[in-house]
């Protein structure tokens, strides 16, 4: 597909959303910086120069309920691309990529759907590649890292994006040919959430227990004192 490159945008997800219907599957929107990068739960995503801020348009023939699968799939691709650099990346439910216990990447999947049919999916991926952690806001600094901070040198972002897009395409093709189970299996093995004691903060309550699995709908299974809970959405704190 096409790669649409911008110096500065509000949000690559918003640009991709506008282009979605008229673009081919596989179109990529990428920008050097975002003025209004968006994160989960309506949050702001700091996107200074040096990072990789991109959105990929996919047109899968599945029902909207499958949208969380694309977040998991993208997480697997990002973790593999980072591991390809010799850096131990892991996945934290539902959509963070960590190095150690610090976040290096966030994923925001959005979709355009009607009548139970997906028109297109936008997978927004933000990776702190050559980002100076000092440039992030104070509240993020202690919980964030970048690939350049870990490696002690700047990385070749073009080579990294190529490896990432290749990994994403591999996973996408695999999800179609071998089914989503094989991706789920890989997500579990790359995950630092599964097997951990967690607190999951949901709008209603905090669920404390041991994360024991993830379902094909992307929900987290937590073993609590009261029994097994299936959690659809929330923020996960690793114990």
What are the angstrom distances between the C-alpha of 187 and each of 7, 96, 181?
A: 33, 12, 10
End-to-end CA distance of the chain: 41
**Alpha helix positions (H), 28-90:** 67-83
Q: Contact 30/86 with Cβ under 8 angstroms?
A: no
- 48 is an interface residue for ligand BTN by CB under 6 A: no
Tokens encoding 204: 């209603």
**Cβ-based neighbour number of residue 226 at 10 Å:** 8
Closer residue to ligand BTN, CB minimum distance, 128 or 148? 128
- Candidate residues 12, 144, 148, 191; the one interacting with ligand BTN per rule CB under 6 A: 12
Q: Give SS3 for 56.
A: strand
- 49 is an interface residue for ligand BTN by CB under 6 A: no
- Residue with smallest beta-carbon separation from ligand BTN: 106
- 13 is an interface residue for ligand BTN by CB under 6 A: yes
Residues within window 120-149 making contact with ligand BTN, judged by CB under 6 A: 124-126
- 94 is an interface residue for ligand BTN by CB under 6 A: no
- Candidate residues 21, 43, 224, 230; the one interacting with ligand BTN per rule CB under 6 A: 43
DSSP state letter for 102: E
- 53 is an interface residue for ligand BTN by CB under 6 A: yes
- 55 is an interface residue for ligand BTN by CB under 6 A: yes
- 11 is an interface residue for ligand BTN by CB under 6 A: yes
- 26 is an interface residue for ligand BTN by CB under 6 A: no
Whole-angstrom distance, CA of residue 197 vs CA of residue 132 = 31
Q: Which residues bind ligand BTN (CB under 6 A)?
A: 11-13, 34, 37-40, 43, 45, 47, 53-55, 95-96, 106-108, 124-126
């Amino acid at each position: 597909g096409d790669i649409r490159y911008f110096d500065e945008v509000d949000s690559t997800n918003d640009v991709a959303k506008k282009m979605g219907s008229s673009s081919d599957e596989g179109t990529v929107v990428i920008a050097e910086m975002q003025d209004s990068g968006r994160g989960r739960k309506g949050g702001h995503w700091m996107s200074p120069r040096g990072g990789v801020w991109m959105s990929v348009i996919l047109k899968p023939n599945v029902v909207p309920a499958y949208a969380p699968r694309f977040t998991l799939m993208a997480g697997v691709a990002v973790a593999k691309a980072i591991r390809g650099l010799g850096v131990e990346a892991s996945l934290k439910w539902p959509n963070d990529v960590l190095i150690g216990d610090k976040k290096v990447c966030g994923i925001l999947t959005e979709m355009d759907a009607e009548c139970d049919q997906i028109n297109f999916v936008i997978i927004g991926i933000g990776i702190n590649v050559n980002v100076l952690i000092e440039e992030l806001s104070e509240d993020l600094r202690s919980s964030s890292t970048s690939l350049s901070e870990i490696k002690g040198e700047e990385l070749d972002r073009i080579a990294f994006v190529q490896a990432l897009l290749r990994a994403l395409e591999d996973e996408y093709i695999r999800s179609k040919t071998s089914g989503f189970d094989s991706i789920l299996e890989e997500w579990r093995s790359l995950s630092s959430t599964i097997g951990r004691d967690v607190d999951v903060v949901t709008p209603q309550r905090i669920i404390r227990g041991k994360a024991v699995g993830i379902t094909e709908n992307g929900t987290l299974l937590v073993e609590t004192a009261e029994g097994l809970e299936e959690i659809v959405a929330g923020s996960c704190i690793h114990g």
